[in-house]
Amino acid sequence: MSLNLNKLVDKAWEDKSINELLDAPPSALEGLTPKHDELLAELKIKTVRDLGNWKYAAKAHALVQLADGES
């Protein structure tokens, strides 16, 4: 199964595997820059995987899902 990740990642990362993307810096995501990498590194977030597993992102996502359920 092939996934089209082009809308999710920066053009330079479009041909990478999921594991390569998870190990990439956050700036591999479309819309983030190396400056974001620096800022996120201060929070010990150095990879896309770190960002995806960041407990505060998970909590925020849970709140968004709960709010969507109230509509």
11/45 Cα distance (integer angstroms): 22
- For the chain, the domain total comes to 1
9/6 Cα distance (integer angstroms): 6
40/50 Cα distance (integer angstroms): 10
pLDDT of residue 2: 54
Reported pTM? 0.84
Strands (E), 1-71: none
Q: What are phi and psi of 62, to 5 degrees?
A: -60, -40
| 9-55 pLDDT tens trace | 999 999 999 999 999 999 999 999 999 999 999 999 999 999 999 99
Nearest to 51 by CA among 39, 66, 62: 39
pLDDT of residue 7: 87
Indicate the pLDDT class of residue 69, thresholds 50, 70 and 90: confident
Residue 15 structural domain:
5-70
pLDDT of residue 9: 95
